[in-house]
Amino acid sequence: MKIAVFVGSIRNGRHGRTVGQWALDQLQARGDGNTYELIDLIEQDLDQLTAAVPPIMAAGTYDEVKTTAWSGTISSYDGFIFVTPEYNASVPGTMKNAFDLLKVEWEGKPVGFLSYGGGGGVRAVNHWRDIVANVGMLPLEAQAALAFDDHFVDFQFAPNEQTVELLEAVAAELVQVGEKATVNA
């Protein structure tokens, strides 16, 4: 399987990239035969969703060149780990826009969450669960919610044994669900 760690925050000085890069390194170190790659939203050239045709009607064919490229990127993965902060009790708007641009490309694929924030980003993930289910993704039960008090020191990401265990639970379920989804496809 080819799995993407999708970093969705793009702020100057964001923590998202550090958390995502750490997760990628951990996942690659599993040596489980799967391919893990990073998608950093800041490196993607995406439009705001202005298309007249809603993605659910577009069925994977888009008039917009940038959305077509984004479609190709997401189509190439079998599963995802969304690295998401919590902004105002919900998901980051830029990440939601990137998600909303597509539909069939996400469908039927497992997605795990690695969230962070004062309360671990739990409220963002609660919203993500509804969002991803709406396009037919398979949200995992395991969830790595990193509260600042437990996984950061002086506002710097400082993963510990518990951080590793939380991510490992997500990874193990992702691989298991992903393999089942591939067999049933």
Ligand X SMILES: Cc1cc2nc3c(=O)[nH]c(=O)nc-3n(C[C@H](O)[C@H](O)[C@H](O)COP(=O)(O)O)c2cc1C
Site string for ligand X, 16-55 (x = CB under 6 A): x---------------------------------------
Measured distance CA(17)–CA(146) in Å, rounded: 14
Applying the rule CB under 6 A, the residues between 66 and 85 that interact with ligand X are 85
* Of the residues 9, 67, 143, 163, which one makes contact with ligand X according to CB under 6 A: 9
15 near ligand X, judged by CB under 6 A:
yes
* Of the residues 66, 118, 136, 176, which one makes contact with ligand X according to CB under 6 A: 118
* Of the residues 117, 131, 145, 167, which one makes contact with ligand X according to CB under 6 A: 117
Is-contact 174 181, C-beta < 8 A? no
The single-letter code of the amino acid at 145 is A
88 near ligand X, judged by CB under 6 A:
yes
Site string for ligand X, 131-160 (x = CB under 6 A): ------------------------------
113 near ligand X, judged by CB under 6 A:
no
Binding site for ligand X (CB under 6 A): 9, 11, 14-16, 85-89, 117-119
